[in-house]
Amino acid sequence: MKFSAKEQYGLRAIVELARHYGAGPVSLSLVAQAQAISLAYLEQVVVPLREAGLLDSTRGANGGYVLARSPDAVTVGDVLRALDGAIVSFACVSDASNSPCRRGEGTCAARQVWEKVQDRLGEALDSTTLADLC
């Protein structure tokens, strides 16, 4: 299993913003420099985070981005879902899957493993806040 570059960079960026929580807007150029992320790519990554209500933006000379909630109220799971919609998705266990597994629930020995992986990963990411990472 791999996390996309969008998820990795998005998490790094939002953690950087969490480190500056309460200090006012932070420019994306500062975040890009601190996290060694291309500014052009970072500009694309923050859009879904803002649309999900995790970030607020301010325009102008002193503008930039701030967390919309405190770092202890935002989980890693929140961030990853905002960026890609689902934390992890296995076709055979996902209710939203467009290509469900052809094997029935009772005939696939591996299904239980994928269910556990999906559940445990979700639990781990939903119990880890940005404050924990700072």
On the 0-12 / 13-18 / 19+ scale of CB atoms within 10 A, 117 is middle
Q: What is the pTM of this model?
A: 0.83
Residue 22: which residues within 8 A CB-CB, separation 6 or more? none
Indicate the domain borders of the chain. 5-133
For domain 5-133, give the fold: Arc Repressor Mutant, subunit A (1.10.10)
Query: What value does the mean pLDDT take over residues 75-103?
Result: 73
**Per-residue confidence band for 104, with pLDDT thresholds at 50, 70 and 90:** low
Q: Is the pLDDT of residue 89 over 80?
A: no
Residue 113: which residues within 8 A CB-CB, separation 6 or more? none
